[in-house]
Amino acid sequence: MPTEMRPIELGEWEEFLRAAEGSFSSHVAAEDIEDARADFEIDRSLAVFENGHIVGTAAAYSLSMTVPGPEQLAVAGVTMVGVIPTHRRRGHLTSLMRRQLDDIRERGEAMAILLASESAIYGRFGYGIATTQTELQIDPRLGRFAHSPEMGGQVELVSADQARKVVPEIFERARRREPGQIGRSGPSWEVFFRDRERWRYGASARFYVVYRSANEQLDGYCAYRIRENWENGVPENTLQIGDLMAANDEAWAALWQYCLSVDLMTTVTARLRPTDEPVRWMLADPRRLRTTYLGDFIWGRILNVPGALEARRYAAGGTVTFEIADRFMSDCGGRYRMAVDGGRAGVERGTFEPDLALTINDLSAAYLGGARFSTLARAGRVQEYREGALRRADLLFSSDRAPWCATGF
Protein backbone atom coordinates (compact mmCIF):
# COMPACT_ATOMS: atom_id res chain seq x y z
CA MET A 1 0.00 0.00 0.00
CA PRO A 2 1.23 3.58 -0.65
CA THR A 3 2.81 5.28 2.36
CA GLU A 4 3.83 8.81 3.29
CA MET A 5 6.60 9.91 5.64
CA ARG A 6 6.56 13.37 7.20
CA PRO A 7 6.65 15.29 10.50
CA ILE A 8 3.36 15.20 12.34
CA GLU A 9 1.04 18.13 12.92
CA LEU A 10 -0.05 19.18 16.39
CA GLY A 11 -3.45 17.53 16.05
CA GLU A 12 -1.78 14.20 15.28
CA TRP A 13 0.25 14.14 18.51
CA GLU A 14 -1.92 11.69 20.47
CA GLU A 15 -2.10 9.20 17.60
CA PHE A 16 1.68 9.50 17.19
CA LEU A 17 2.30 8.73 20.86
CA ARG A 18 -0.11 5.80 20.85
CA ALA A 19 1.63 4.36 17.80
CA ALA A 20 5.07 4.86 19.37
CA GLU A 21 4.03 3.19 22.63
CA GLY A 22 2.06 0.54 20.75
CA SER A 23 5.24 -0.57 19.02
CA PHE A 24 6.46 -1.56 22.51
CA SER A 25 3.08 -3.14 23.36
CA SER A 26 2.41 -0.42 25.92
CA HIS A 27 -0.86 1.36 26.70
CA VAL A 28 -1.03 5.15 26.98
CA ALA A 29 -2.74 6.83 29.94
CA ALA A 30 -3.93 10.44 30.00
CA GLU A 31 -0.98 11.52 32.15
CA ASP A 32 1.42 9.82 29.70
CA ILE A 33 0.11 12.11 26.96
CA GLU A 34 0.69 15.16 29.15
CA ASP A 35 4.16 14.11 30.29
CA ALA A 36 5.47 13.07 26.89
CA ARG A 37 4.24 16.27 25.25
CA ALA A 38 6.12 18.50 27.73
CA ASP A 39 9.43 18.65 25.87
CA PHE A 40 8.46 16.98 22.59
CA GLU A 41 9.65 18.84 19.49
CA ILE A 42 6.93 18.52 16.86
CA ASP A 43 9.22 19.69 14.07
CA ARG A 44 11.65 16.85 14.87
CA SER A 45 9.03 14.13 14.59
CA LEU A 46 8.72 11.66 11.74
CA ALA A 47 5.79 9.37 11.06
CA VAL A 48 5.00 6.79 8.43
CA PHE A 49 1.36 7.04 7.36
CA GLU A 50 -0.56 4.27 5.61
CA ASN A 51 -4.15 4.98 4.57
CA GLY A 52 -4.05 8.05 6.79
CA HIS A 53 -2.98 6.16 9.92
CA ILE A 54 0.41 6.26 11.66
CA VAL A 55 2.22 2.92 11.50
CA GLY A 56 5.82 3.99 12.23
CA THR A 57 7.39 6.71 14.37
CA ALA A 58 10.66 8.45 15.20
CA ALA A 59 11.53 11.69 16.96
CA ALA A 60 14.50 13.59 18.36
CA TYR A 61 15.34 16.02 21.14
CA SER A 62 17.81 18.88 20.73
CA LEU A 63 20.40 18.11 23.42
CA SER A 64 23.79 19.25 24.64
CA MET A 65 26.26 16.51 25.61
CA THR A 66 29.47 16.85 27.57
CA VAL A 67 32.48 15.52 25.65
CA PRO A 68 36.08 15.20 26.89
CA GLY A 69 37.64 18.54 27.66
CA PRO A 70 35.12 19.05 29.06
CA GLU A 71 33.34 20.68 26.14
CA GLN A 72 29.73 20.78 24.95
CA LEU A 73 28.50 19.18 21.72
CA ALA A 74 25.05 19.69 20.20
CA VAL A 75 23.54 16.25 19.57
CA ALA A 76 20.20 14.79 18.55
CA GLY A 77 18.58 12.54 21.13
CA VAL A 78 16.74 9.95 19.04
CA THR A 79 13.57 8.63 20.67
CA MET A 80 10.14 7.08 20.08
CA VAL A 81 11.45 4.85 17.30
CA GLY A 82 9.08 2.04 16.43
CA VAL A 83 6.78 0.32 13.97
CA ILE A 84 3.43 -1.09 15.10
CA PRO A 85 3.33 -4.92 15.24
CA THR A 86 1.12 -5.30 12.14
CA HIS A 87 3.56 -3.41 9.89
CA ARG A 88 6.99 -4.80 10.71
CA ARG A 89 9.41 -6.28 8.18
CA ARG A 90 8.33 -3.81 5.49
CA GLY A 91 11.36 -1.51 5.51
CA HIS A 92 9.71 1.25 7.53
CA LEU A 93 12.39 1.32 10.26
CA THR A 94 15.22 1.61 7.74
CA SER A 95 13.41 4.42 5.91
CA LEU A 96 12.78 6.28 9.16
CA MET A 97 16.41 5.94 10.23
CA ARG A 98 17.78 7.20 6.92
CA ARG A 99 15.46 10.19 6.75
CA GLN A 100 16.07 11.07 10.37
CA LEU A 101 19.86 10.89 10.12
CA ASP A 102 19.77 13.05 6.99
CA ASP A 103 17.64 15.60 8.84
CA ILE A 104 19.96 15.59 11.86
CA ARG A 105 23.00 16.19 9.69
CA GLU A 106 21.26 19.02 7.84
CA ARG A 107 20.62 20.69 11.20
CA GLY A 108 24.37 20.77 11.80
CA GLU A 109 24.44 18.23 14.64
CA ALA A 110 27.57 16.08 14.37
CA MET A 111 26.20 13.16 16.36
CA ALA A 112 22.98 11.30 17.13
CA ILE A 113 22.49 9.40 20.38
CA LEU A 114 19.83 6.99 21.61
CA LEU A 115 18.87 4.35 24.17
CA ALA A 116 18.45 1.01 22.42
CA SER A 117 15.44 -1.10 23.36
CA GLU A 118 17.18 -4.03 21.66
CA SER A 119 20.94 -4.02 21.36
CA ALA A 120 20.95 -5.92 18.07
CA ILE A 121 19.02 -3.28 16.12
CA TYR A 122 21.04 -0.10 15.79
CA GLY A 123 24.45 -1.36 14.76
CA ARG A 124 23.26 -1.61 11.18
CA PHE A 125 22.51 2.12 11.20
CA GLY A 126 26.02 3.07 12.36
CA TYR A 127 25.49 3.33 16.11
CA GLY A 128 28.02 2.08 18.67
CA ILE A 129 27.98 1.78 22.47
CA ALA A 130 29.17 5.14 23.79
CA THR A 131 28.50 4.86 27.55
CA THR A 132 28.11 1.99 29.98
CA GLN A 133 26.11 2.00 33.21
CA THR A 134 26.23 -0.02 36.38
CA GLU A 135 23.71 -0.80 39.09
CA LEU A 136 25.06 -1.22 42.61
CA GLN A 137 23.87 -2.78 45.86
CA ILE A 138 25.24 -2.83 49.39
CA ASP A 139 24.15 -3.56 52.93
CA PRO A 140 24.66 -0.11 54.49
CA ARG A 141 25.54 -1.69 57.83
CA LEU A 142 28.71 -2.87 56.04
CA GLY A 143 29.26 0.42 54.24
CA ARG A 144 31.73 2.08 56.58
CA PHE A 145 34.19 4.42 54.87
CA ALA A 146 37.90 3.59 55.13
CA HIS A 147 38.67 7.22 55.99
CA SER A 148 36.26 9.83 57.22
CA PRO A 149 36.17 12.43 54.46
CA GLU A 150 36.95 15.99 55.45
CA MET A 151 33.75 17.93 54.88
CA GLY A 152 33.40 21.60 55.53
CA GLY A 153 29.75 21.53 54.52
CA GLN A 154 26.64 19.59 55.41
CA VAL A 155 23.87 17.47 53.93
CA GLU A 156 20.36 18.93 54.19
CA LEU A 157 17.03 17.19 53.69
CA VAL A 158 14.75 19.40 51.56
CA SER A 159 11.16 19.24 50.36
CA ALA A 160 10.17 18.52 46.78
CA ASP A 161 9.22 22.18 46.33
CA GLN A 162 12.63 23.28 47.61
CA ALA A 163 14.37 20.70 45.41
CA ARG A 164 12.50 21.97 42.35
CA LYS A 165 14.14 25.37 42.86
CA VAL A 166 17.74 24.24 43.33
CA VAL A 167 18.32 20.76 41.88
CA PRO A 168 18.29 21.67 38.15
CA GLU A 169 21.10 24.20 38.61
CA ILE A 170 23.18 21.75 40.66
CA PHE A 171 22.68 19.08 38.01
CA GLU A 172 23.74 21.40 35.20
CA ARG A 173 27.01 22.33 36.93
CA ALA A 174 27.70 18.72 37.83
CA ARG A 175 26.92 17.18 34.46
CA ARG A 176 29.27 19.56 32.64
CA ARG A 177 32.27 17.83 34.20
CA GLU A 178 31.19 14.31 33.19
CA PRO A 179 31.71 13.12 29.58
CA GLY A 180 28.55 11.54 28.24
CA GLN A 181 26.14 13.54 30.38
CA ILE A 182 23.34 15.37 28.59
CA GLY A 183 21.47 18.47 29.65
CA ARG A 184 17.89 18.39 30.90
CA SER A 185 15.38 20.94 29.64
CA GLY A 186 13.05 22.95 31.84
CA PRO A 187 10.00 20.94 30.70
CA SER A 188 11.80 17.66 31.40
CA TRP A 189 12.48 18.84 34.97
CA GLU A 190 8.80 19.70 35.35
CA VAL A 191 7.93 16.12 34.43
CA PHE A 192 10.64 14.78 36.77
CA PHE A 193 9.14 16.59 39.76
CA ARG A 194 5.62 15.31 39.05
CA ASP A 195 6.92 12.03 40.52
CA ARG A 196 4.07 9.91 39.18
CA GLU A 197 2.83 6.95 41.19
CA ARG A 198 3.51 4.58 38.28
CA TRP A 199 7.24 5.41 38.44
CA ARG A 200 7.56 4.20 42.04
CA TYR A 201 6.95 0.44 41.65
CA GLY A 202 5.81 0.14 45.25
CA ALA A 203 8.39 2.48 46.75
CA SER A 204 7.82 5.90 48.32
CA ALA A 205 7.68 9.31 46.73
CA ARG A 206 11.13 10.81 46.27
CA PHE A 207 13.17 12.21 49.12
CA TYR A 208 15.72 14.89 48.30
CA VAL A 209 18.96 15.85 50.02
CA VAL A 210 21.44 18.53 48.97
CA TYR A 211 25.01 19.20 49.97
CA ARG A 212 25.82 22.74 51.08
CA SER A 213 29.56 23.48 50.96
CA ALA A 214 31.37 25.68 53.45
CA ASN A 215 31.02 28.64 51.07
CA GLU A 216 27.20 28.16 51.21
CA GLN A 217 27.04 26.92 47.61
CA LEU A 218 24.87 23.89 46.88
CA ASP A 219 27.27 21.46 45.20
CA GLY A 220 25.38 18.18 45.05
CA TYR A 221 22.06 16.45 45.49
CA CYS A 222 20.55 12.99 45.77
CA ALA A 223 16.99 11.94 44.93
CA TYR A 224 16.00 8.60 46.45
CA ARG A 225 13.04 6.44 47.43
CA ILE A 226 12.39 4.08 50.34
CA ARG A 227 10.86 0.67 49.78
CA GLU A 228 9.51 -0.55 53.10
CA ASN A 229 9.60 -4.16 54.21
CA TRP A 230 8.99 -5.08 57.83
CA GLU A 231 9.36 -8.76 58.74
CA ASN A 232 7.99 -9.72 62.18
CA GLY A 233 8.54 -6.20 63.40
CA VAL A 234 12.11 -6.03 62.06
CA PRO A 235 12.91 -3.45 59.34
CA GLU A 236 14.41 -4.75 56.10
CA ASN A 237 13.92 -1.59 54.09
CA THR A 238 15.69 -0.53 50.90
CA LEU A 239 16.96 2.93 50.01
CA GLN A 240 16.91 3.31 46.22
CA ILE A 241 19.25 5.97 44.86
CA GLY A 242 17.77 7.27 41.64
CA ASP A 243 19.83 10.39 40.98
CA LEU A 244 23.07 11.38 42.71
CA MET A 245 25.07 14.21 41.14
CA ALA A 246 27.85 16.35 42.55
CA ALA A 247 29.91 19.26 41.30
CA ASN A 248 32.93 18.25 43.40
CA ASP A 249 34.36 15.18 45.12
CA GLU A 250 33.54 16.41 48.62
CA ALA A 251 29.83 16.59 47.81
CA TRP A 252 29.96 13.18 46.12
CA ALA A 253 31.44 11.54 49.23
CA ALA A 254 29.07 13.32 51.60
CA LEU A 255 25.96 12.27 49.70
CA TRP A 256 27.06 8.63 49.54
CA GLN A 257 27.91 8.66 53.23
CA TYR A 258 24.44 10.02 53.98
CA CYS A 259 22.72 7.30 51.93
CA LEU A 260 24.70 4.63 53.78
CA SER A 261 23.72 6.01 57.19
CA VAL A 262 19.92 6.33 56.95
CA ASP A 263 18.33 4.34 59.78
CA LEU A 264 16.22 1.18 59.30
CA MET A 265 17.82 0.23 55.97
CA THR A 266 19.31 -3.17 55.19
CA THR A 267 19.92 -2.51 51.49
CA VAL A 268 21.00 0.49 49.44
CA THR A 269 20.71 0.27 45.65
CA ALA A 270 21.87 2.73 43.01
CA ARG A 271 21.04 2.75 39.31
CA LEU A 272 22.62 4.52 36.34
CA ARG A 273 26.03 4.82 37.99
CA PRO A 274 29.37 5.24 36.21
CA THR A 275 31.70 2.31 35.73
CA ASP A 276 34.39 4.20 37.66
CA GLU A 277 32.08 5.04 40.57
CA PRO A 278 34.54 6.18 43.28
CA VAL A 279 32.45 5.02 46.24
CA ARG A 280 33.97 1.54 45.91
CA TRP A 281 37.34 3.03 46.77
CA MET A 282 35.90 4.94 49.71
CA LEU A 283 34.70 1.81 51.52
CA ALA A 284 36.63 0.01 54.23
CA ASP A 285 35.34 -3.27 52.77
CA PRO A 286 34.90 -2.65 49.01
CA ARG A 287 33.83 -6.25 48.33
CA ARG A 288 30.51 -5.50 50.04
CA LEU A 289 29.53 -3.24 47.15
CA ARG A 290 27.97 -5.54 44.56
CA THR A 291 27.62 -4.74 40.88
CA THR A 292 24.20 -6.19 40.07
CA TYR A 293 24.12 -5.00 36.47
CA LEU A 294 26.62 -3.79 33.87
CA GLY A 295 25.39 -2.83 30.44
CA ASP A 296 25.17 -0.37 27.59
CA PHE A 297 23.28 2.89 27.95
CA ILE A 298 23.94 5.65 25.40
CA TRP A 299 24.54 4.58 21.81
CA GLY A 300 26.21 7.17 19.59
CA ARG A 301 26.37 7.71 15.85
CA ILE A 302 28.81 10.23 14.35
CA LEU A 303 27.40 11.99 11.29
CA ASN A 304 30.11 14.58 10.72
CA VAL A 305 33.56 13.15 11.40
CA PRO A 306 35.54 16.42 11.37
CA GLY A 307 32.83 18.23 13.35
CA ALA A 308 32.72 15.59 16.08
CA LEU A 309 36.48 15.04 16.36
CA GLU A 310 37.26 18.74 16.46
CA ALA A 311 34.65 19.41 19.17
CA ARG A 312 36.37 17.49 21.98
CA ARG A 313 39.83 17.80 23.51
CA TYR A 314 42.56 15.17 23.62
CA ALA A 315 44.97 13.86 26.22
CA ALA A 316 48.12 14.17 24.09
CA GLY A 317 49.45 15.43 20.80
CA GLY A 318 50.02 13.45 17.63
CA THR A 319 48.54 12.38 14.34
CA VAL A 320 46.41 9.41 13.36
CA THR A 321 44.71 8.65 10.05
CA PHE A 322 41.46 6.70 9.98
CA GLU A 323 39.93 4.73 7.15
CA ILE A 324 36.24 4.72 8.09
CA ALA A 325 33.63 2.42 6.58
CA ASP A 326 30.02 3.58 6.84
CA ARG A 327 27.66 0.96 5.48
CA PHE A 328 24.48 2.98 6.05
CA MET A 329 25.60 6.48 5.02
CA SER A 330 28.52 5.88 2.71
CA ASP A 331 29.22 9.58 2.20
CA CYS A 332 30.22 9.82 5.88
CA GLY A 333 32.97 7.27 5.35
CA GLY A 334 36.40 7.83 3.88
CA ARG A 335 39.91 8.61 5.03
CA TYR A 336 40.45 11.30 7.66
CA ARG A 337 43.71 12.58 9.11
CA MET A 338 43.46 13.94 12.64
CA ALA A 339 46.37 16.06 13.91
CA VAL A 340 46.26 17.07 17.59
CA ASP A 341 48.24 19.94 19.04
CA GLY A 342 47.64 21.52 22.42
CA GLY A 343 44.70 19.20 23.02
CA ARG A 344 42.82 20.45 19.94
CA ALA A 345 42.36 18.46 16.74
CA GLY A 346 42.35 19.54 13.13
CA VAL A 347 40.73 17.01 10.80
CA GLU A 348 40.92 16.80 7.03
CA ARG A 349 39.56 14.32 4.52
CA GLY A 350 41.77 13.01 1.73
CA THR A 351 43.55 10.09 0.10
CA PHE A 352 45.96 9.48 2.95
CA GLU A 353 47.56 6.16 3.82
CA PRO A 354 45.53 4.90 6.79
CA ASP A 355 46.92 4.06 10.20
CA LEU A 356 43.70 2.37 11.39
CA ALA A 357 40.68 0.94 9.58
CA LEU A 358 37.34 0.74 11.38
CA THR A 359 33.62 1.36 10.98
CA ILE A 360 31.73 4.50 11.96
CA ASN A 361 30.16 2.39 14.72
CA ASP A 362 33.53 1.81 16.36
CA LEU A 363 34.72 5.39 16.01
CA SER A 364 31.45 6.44 17.65
CA ALA A 365 32.04 3.94 20.49
CA ALA A 366 35.58 5.23 21.08
CA TYR A 367 34.67 8.90 20.75
CA LEU A 368 33.96 9.63 24.43
CA GLY A 369 36.77 7.38 25.66
CA GLY A 370 34.53 4.51 26.72
CA ALA A 371 36.01 1.97 24.31
CA ARG A 372 39.73 1.65 23.59
CA PHE A 373 40.82 1.18 19.99
CA SER A 374 43.14 -1.62 21.13
CA THR A 375 40.21 -3.44 22.76
CA LEU A 376 38.16 -3.07 19.60
CA ALA A 377 41.12 -4.42 17.63
CA ARG A 378 41.32 -7.48 19.88
CA ALA A 379 37.62 -8.01 19.12
CA GLY A 380 38.38 -7.97 15.40
CA ARG A 381 36.69 -4.63 14.84
CA VAL A 382 39.72 -2.37 14.15
CA GLN A 383 42.67 -3.12 11.88
CA GLU A 384 46.08 -1.55 12.51
CA TYR A 385 48.05 -0.72 9.35
CA ARG A 386 50.84 1.26 10.98
CA GLU A 387 52.61 -0.17 14.04
CA GLY A 388 51.98 1.88 17.15
CA ALA A 389 48.80 3.48 15.80
CA LEU A 390 46.52 1.66 18.23
CA ARG A 391 48.55 2.81 21.23
CA ARG A 392 48.66 6.36 19.91
CA ALA A 393 44.90 6.44 19.29
CA ASP A 394 44.22 4.99 22.76
CA LEU A 395 46.28 7.75 24.33
CA LEU A 396 44.73 10.53 22.28
CA PHE A 397 41.13 9.51 23.00
CA SER A 398 41.61 8.60 26.66
CA SER A 399 39.41 10.40 29.18
CA ASP A 400 40.16 11.05 32.85
CA ARG A 401 36.56 10.01 33.63
CA ALA A 402 34.64 7.07 32.23
CA PRO A 403 31.83 8.37 30.02
CA TRP A 404 28.55 8.20 31.88
CA CYS A 405 24.99 9.40 31.40
CA ALA A 406 22.43 9.59 34.20
CA THR A 407 19.54 10.75 32.03
CA GLY A 408 17.16 8.64 30.01
CA PHE A 409 15.11 10.06 27.17
Q: What is the DSSP letter of 87?
A: G
Residue 271 CA from chain centroid, whole number: 13
One DSSP character per residue, 327-376 reads: SSSGGG-EEEEEEEETTEEEEEESSPPPSEEEEHHHHHHHTTSSS-HHHH
* Cβ pair 355, 365 in contact under 8 A: no
Prior bond to 70 cis, omega within 30? yes
Respond yes or no: is residue 122 known to be catalytic: yes
The pairing of strands 230-231 and 234-235 is antiparallel
Respond yes or no: is residue 127 known to be catalytic: no
One DSSP character per residue, 292-323 reads: EEEEE-EEEEES-HHHHHHHS--SS-EEEEEE
The Cα 300–Cα 115 span in angstroms is 9
The Cα 235–Cα 224 span in angstroms is 18
The Cα 105–Cα 76 span in angstroms is 9
Residue 385 CB neighbours (<10 A): 12
Which of the following is catalytic: 122, 207, 224, 328? 122
Q: How far is CA 56 from CA 15, 288, 355, in A?
A: 11, 46, 41
Burial grade of 319 (CB within 10 A; 0-12, 13-18, 19 or more) = middle
- What positions carry a catalytic annotation? 122, 409
